[in-house]
């Protein structure tokens, strides 16, 4: 079963921008910020951004784990013999 995550997302009206501004503190200030003219569109946009960001983080974890596995499976003896 997948572990569920609770992620806080804020949607606020901005008089200055005349739009709803959405952001996710988990990714702020680096990403997960959007704006839209309706609250529903801001929620949908922000949810898509958060989904994409979580997917990218997952892909990065998988790549790092794969790189660690490749490094640990190398035979240091054969490396030394090749250098000699």
pTM of the model: 0.67
User: What proportion of the chain, given as a percentage, has pLDDT over 70?
Assistant: 73
Compute the distance between CA of residue 53 and CA of residue 42 in angstroms, rounded to an integer: 16
Per the domain annotation, does 1 fall within a domain? no
Mean pLDDT of the region 37-60: 93
- What is the reported pLDDT for 27? 82
Distance CA 61, CA 21 (A): 30
In the predicted structure, residue 72 carries a pLDDT above the cut 90:
no
Mean pLDDT of 13-25: 95
Average pLDDT, the chain: 82
The confidence score (pLDDT) of residue 67 equals: 82
Counting the structural domains of the chain, the total is 1
- Domain assignment present for residue 21? The answer is yes
Residue 78 lies in a domain: no
Q: Is residue 5 part of a domain?
A: no
Which strands sit side by side in the sheet containing 19-23, from one edge to the other?
10-14, 19-23, 33-36
pLDDT for residue 21: 96
| Domain around 56 | 10-73
Q: What integer pLDDT is reported at residue 66 of this predicted model? A: 82
């Amino acid at each position: 079963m997948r572990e569920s995550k609770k992620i806080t997302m804020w949607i606020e009206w901005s008089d200055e921008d005349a739009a709803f501004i959405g952001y996710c503190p988990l990714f702020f200030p680096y990403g997960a910020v959007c704006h839209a003219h309706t609250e529903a569109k801001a929620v949908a946009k922000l949810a898509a951004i958060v989904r994409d960001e979580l997917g990218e983080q997952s892909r990065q974890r998988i790549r790092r784990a794969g790189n660690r596995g490749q490094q640990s499976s190398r035979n240091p003896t054969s490396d030394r013999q090749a250098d000699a």
